[in-house]
């Protein structure tokens, strides 16, 4: 069972989230129509691991880009006007582009992996959260916790409270 | 930032989504016109050229590059300020970026697509264009990575991929807003487009980090793309092209024409989608100041290019310079100087900078100048290499002129389709610029 509380004001919403956290509700989601740093702080979200994906992708791209250019020159020997077969300046350009390409693709992969998206199956959600409402969702609440969560949300100023059966 | 009072969050959703969800006859007429012009002026002459060969274009033995290549550079250049400007302004946390960046990024994407089309038109046998990619095949064909043209393939492919991801990821929360505001098939489609986005703190957090990394990757990428395009020319030993200044010259010119393009697009969005509330004087003022700065840098580099040619003193370089300044295409050169170096100085006056109509005219003149610049680079160099007995001449044929006109219609068509599929102004980022919804402020 999930309990959702919709708030009209950010500060009420953040206060409710903090109260729930301090009351031992660990599995909460904070839905908002715009990014709120304070909400991320309440959940203790620090530096995102997406940066490791970016770095890893960039390194893989650099190695593969250089290897592709170097390997090509090695396999297809193409002497042109006495110029170097293993010409580092042009290889650097290919390496540079591949570094960025793979960095971007791995960052995208990291985003999906960490955020858990795509998530097309039904999850507790209020469509007003994409307009002007701030929604606290207490997920996987046991039957005895529901009333307590609801009371906290109501005390914090929730305009609307809903109970939703969750998919397993 | 808001010329007509600050809207509420719900009004932001309503104003922006209504441009997508409500479509009048004027839109369909405009789309029909641009599609027809694209078909008649671009695709039909291209099909004709495919049948009779590239000889249908004005290119010849000396002038193996013509209008197609100059248009390719123009469109690549126009793509430069969207993603680049958006990324730079994101990294510097500029608030005024938030209303305009989505359309600017779309401009990047569609300019790149149009530019890629010109490569296909130019190469003649377009069905072999995949040979430029490192794809294993039974013929043992493999690209030569020492060639500047291969740099181009790598750079543009990367830029197109990165720009597409950059605009898509920035739009995901807005796709969720479209999903929530629609029903039926549209709702199902946007559920897929939005990846099931709910706007949780974790999703925002991850998107914020990923988006910043995209921006960090995109800035050096954009600079590299036009530098590499410039090396298509500068790495040759042709007089008039073999200049070390070409990379910064091209990058500066690209950002310059792209920024002017943004002004034109913003004018149209304001006028036809009624975004007066979100795109205001502050945007125009800042874009105007940016244009003045870029025009001064561009003028300086032009003077430097002439100076280094003169200072070098080789007869080939001096002849290339003489032809450019006083030859057949001299009127075009001086038109470029007028439109790109002198006309933008009018923006030093705040009254002009804050007038949408005057800025529209200036931005169009700048881009006419920049289109001319690219034409001059191609048309005054390759046909006049070194010895006079090998001199040739290039003049575009009606097919090339028609395809050039058609390319603008393709760009307009893509943009018109875009505004019905993606919110042209970022909903959530506009909300970030509003007063926070707090009980205790």
Give me the DSSP letters along B2-48: -TT-PPPHHHHHHHHHHHHH---HHHHHHHHHHHHHIIIIIIHHHHH
Helix (H, G, I), strand (E, B) or coil at A46: coil
* Within a domain: B113: yes
**Chain A CA closest to residue B134:** A68
CATH number at residue A7: 3.30.70
In total, how many domains does chain A have? 2
* Within a domain: B138: no
In total, how many domains does chain B have? 1
Q: How far is A60 from chain B (nearest CA, A)?
A: 15
* Within a domain: B90: yes
Name the band, by pLDDT with cuts 50, 70 and 90, for residue A83. Answer: confident
A28/A73 same-domain check: no
A101/A64 same-domain check: yes
A135/A157 same-domain check: yes
Residue of A68, A118, A131 lying closest to B196 (CB–CB): A118
Contact B439 A76 (CB under 8 A): no
A104/A57 same-domain check: yes
* Within a domain: B181: yes
| Tokens representing residue B300 in the block | 């300086």
A76/A132 same-domain check: no
**Chain A CA closest to residue B204:** A35
A108/A55 same-domain check: yes
pLDDT in tens, A20-58: 988 888 889 999 999 999 899 888 888 999 999 999 999
* Within a domain: B438: no
Q: Which residues contact A42 (CB under 8 A, 6 or more apart)?
A: A14, A17, A18, A21, A30, B201
What is the rounded CA–CA span in Å between residue B102 and residue B58? 38
Characterize the bridge pairing of strands A28-31 and A2-7.
unpaired
Q: What percent of chain A has pLDDT over 70?
A: 98
Question: pLDDT digit of tens for each residue in chain B (441 aa)?
Answer: 666 678 889 999 999 999 988 888 999 999 999 999 999 999 999 999 999 999 899 888 888 899 999 999 999 999 887 888 888 888 888 888 888 889 989 999 999 999 999 999 999 899 998 888 888 888 888 888 888 889 999 999 999 999 999 999 999 999 999 999 999 999 999 999 999 999 999 999 999 999 999 999 999 999 999 999 999 999 888 888 888 899 999 999 999 999 999 999 999 988 888 888 888 888 899 999 999 999 999 999 999 989 988 998 888 989 999 999 999 999 999 999 999 999 999 999 999 999 999 999 999 999 999 999 999 999 988 888 888 888 888 999 999 999 999 999 999 999 999 999 999 999 999 998 888 888 876
Number of A:B CB contacts under 8 A? 196
Q: Give me the domain span that covers residue B425.
A: 9-132+143-432
- Rounded to two decimals, the pTM is 0.92
Using a CB-CB distance cutoff of 8 angstroms, which residues of chain A are in contact with residue B223? none
What is the ipTM, given to two decimal places? Answer: 0.93
Contact B203 A115 (CB under 8 A): yes
| Tokens representing residue A133 in the block | 């409402």
A36/A76 same-domain check: no
Q: How far is B114 from chain A (nearest CA, A)?
A: 21
CATH number at residue B424: 1.20.1630.10
Q: Which residue has the tokens 């439109």?
A: B339
Residue of A12, A93, A131 lying closest to B10 (CB–CB): A131
A87/A103 same-domain check: yes
Name the band, by pLDDT with cuts 50, 70 and 90, for residue A134. Answer: very high
Q: What is the pLDDT of residue A168?
A: 47
Cis preceding-peptide flag for B435 (omega within 30 of 0)? no
Q: Give me the domain span that covers residue A147.
A: 2-42+122-164
What is the rounded CA–CA span in Å between residue B39 and residue A14? 55
A54/A97 same-domain check: yes
């Amino acid at each position: 069972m999930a309990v959702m509380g919709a708030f009209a004001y950010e500060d009420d919403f953040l206060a409710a989230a903090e109260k729930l956290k301090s009351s031992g509700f660990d599995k909460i989601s904070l839905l908002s129509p715009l990014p709120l740093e304070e909400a991320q702080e309440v959940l203790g979200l620090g530096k995102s691991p997406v940066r490791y994906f970016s770095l890893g992708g960039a390194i893989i791209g650099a190695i593969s880009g250089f290897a592709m250019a170097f390997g090509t020159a090695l396999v297809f020997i193409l002497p042109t006007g006495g110029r170097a077969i293993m010409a580092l300046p042009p290889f650097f350009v290919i390496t540079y582009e591949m570094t960025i390409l793979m960095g971007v693709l791995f960052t995208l992969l990291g985003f999906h992996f960490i955020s858990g998206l795509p998530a097309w199956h039904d999850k507790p959600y209020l469509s007003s959260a994409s307009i002007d409402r701030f929604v606290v969702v207490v997920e996987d609440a046991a039957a005895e916790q529901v009333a307590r969560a609801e009371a906290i949300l109501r005390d914090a100023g929730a305009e609307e409270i809903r109970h939703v059966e969750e998919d397993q | 930032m808001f010329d007509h009072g600050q809207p509420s969050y719900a009004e932001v959703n309503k104003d922006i989504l209504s441009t997508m969800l409500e479509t009048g006859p004027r839109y369909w007429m405009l789309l029909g016109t641009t599609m027809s012009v694209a078909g008649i002026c671009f695709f039909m002459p291209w099909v004709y050229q495919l049948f009779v060969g590239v000889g249908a274009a004005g290119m010849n033995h000396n002038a193996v590059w013509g209008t197609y290549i100059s248009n390719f550079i123009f469109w690549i250049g126009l793509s430069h300020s969207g993603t680049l400007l958006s990324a730079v302004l994101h990294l510097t946390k500029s608030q005024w970026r938030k209303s305009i960046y989505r359309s600017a990024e779309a401009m990047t994407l569609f300019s790149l697509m149009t530019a890629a089309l010109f490569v296909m038109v130019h190469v003649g046998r377009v069905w072999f264009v995949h040979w430029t990619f490192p794809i294993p095949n039974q013929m043992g064909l493999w690209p030569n990575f020492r060639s500047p043209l291969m740099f181009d393939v790598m750079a543009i492919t990367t830029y197109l991929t990165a720009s597409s991801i950059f605009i898509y990821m920035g739009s995901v929360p807005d796709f969720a807003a479209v999903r929530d505001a629609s029903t039926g098939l549209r709702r199902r489609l946007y559920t897929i487009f939005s990846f099931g986005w709910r706007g949780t703190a974790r999703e925002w957090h991850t998107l914020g980090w990923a988006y910043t990394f995209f921006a960090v990757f995109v800035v050096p990428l954009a600079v590299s793309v036009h530098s590499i395009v410039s090396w298509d020319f500068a790495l040759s030993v042709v007089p008039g092209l073999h200049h070390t200044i070409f990379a910064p010259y091209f990058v500066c010119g690209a950002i310059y024409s792209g920024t002017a393009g943004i002004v034109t697009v913003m004018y149209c969005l304001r006028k036809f989608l009624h975004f007066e509330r979100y795109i205001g004087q502050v945007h125009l003022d800042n874009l105007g100041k940016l244009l003045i700065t870029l025009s001064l840098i561009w003028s300086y580099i032009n003077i430097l290019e002439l100076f280094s040619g003169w200072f070098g003193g080789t007869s080939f370089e001096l002849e290339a310079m003489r032809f450019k300044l006083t030859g057949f295409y001299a009127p075009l050169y001086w038109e470029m100087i007028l439109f790109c170096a002198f006309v933008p100085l009018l923006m030093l006056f705040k009254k002009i900078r804050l007038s949408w109509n005057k800025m529209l005219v200036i931005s169009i003149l700048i881009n006419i100048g920049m289109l001319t610049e690219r034409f001059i680079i191609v048309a005054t160099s390759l046909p006049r290499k070194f010895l006079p007995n090998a001199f040739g001449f290039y003049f575009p044929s009606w097919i090339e002129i028609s395809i050039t006109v058609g390319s603008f219609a393709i760009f307009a068509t893509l943009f018109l389709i875009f505004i019905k599929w993606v919110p042209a102004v970022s909903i959530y980022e506009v909300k970030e610029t509003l007063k926070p919804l707090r009980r205790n402020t």
